[in-house]
Every structure is written in C-alpha cells, then in structure tokens.
Amino acid sequence: MIPVGARAPDFTLPDHAGQLVSLSDFAGRRLLIAFYPLDFSPTCNDQLTSYKAISPQLDEAGVTLVGISVDSAFAHKAFRDQTGIDNALLADFEPKGAVAEAYGAYLEDWGHANRSLVLIDGEGIVEWVHASDTPVDIPPPSLILDAI
C-alpha cells in the first residue's frame, strides 16, 4: 500500500456515467478511495452499500467517497442502478488495474484490486490507508469513521 504522507498518484478515470474524473477534481476536499475487486459480487455489494449508511458523517467531515474497481463504466452504471449506491464508481479498466497498482492495491495473481481504503487530504497527500488481509474481508464503516 501507498504510505501515509506520500503524494497521491494522479489519475483520470471514467465514472459510471462515462465522465472523466481526476484526482485534481477533488482539490481542497478530502477524498476517500475504496478500492474493491468487482461489481456484482455479494461481498462488494455488502461493502459499498454499508458505506452508504455513513454518507452523512462523510459529508460532515468534508470527505467524498469514490469506489474504484477494474470493471468498465457500463458495469458500474448497472451496479449502481441495481444496488442504489450513490457515490461515484470509477473504472480502472484500461490499462487494467493501473490506478490500483499505483496505490499499491492491485493483486496481480487475482487480476483485480484488494479491498483497500485510501484517505487523501485536500492537498493530495495520503492521510490514512487500510488494506484488508484478503479480498473477502470487508473494512467496516466504523473503521472509516475512526479514520476521519
């Protein structure tokens, strides 16, 4: 995982609506990246929908949550529509997993990101990180609330 205190690697990825989103879009605001393996897996559904419950606390702390996986923007749109997730989902699709790899969250042997969380301050510096022991371990919302 990327170390705390490091400058967050820049990225530009399409979101679920096909709009390009860059790290610089969040300048002056804290960003929480939730790297996750794949859309439509039961564990991913549980992880991202559980984070919806802490949206008010994230807003109050000035934190924007985005999810990043190796799925396409089209899959992200369908995933959001099915689950009711309202945060942006970014497609680390091509080159596959490049952003996850830059943040130290890519699992080469699995072909997708680990469940990892990266909190970035408004200046683009990594404030806090968490990497799950395995892709099936969900970081609970309480972990995020403790970090912010």
Report the catalytic residues: 44
Distance CA 78, CA 41 (A): 13
Sign of CA dihedral 20, 37, 50, 137: negative
Q: 23 vs 20, 71, 123, 134, CA distance in Å?
A: 10, 19, 10, 26
Instruction: Copy the structure tokens of residue 89.
Output: 């989902």
Distance CA 42, CA 57 (A): 25
Residue linked to tokens 């985005």: 66
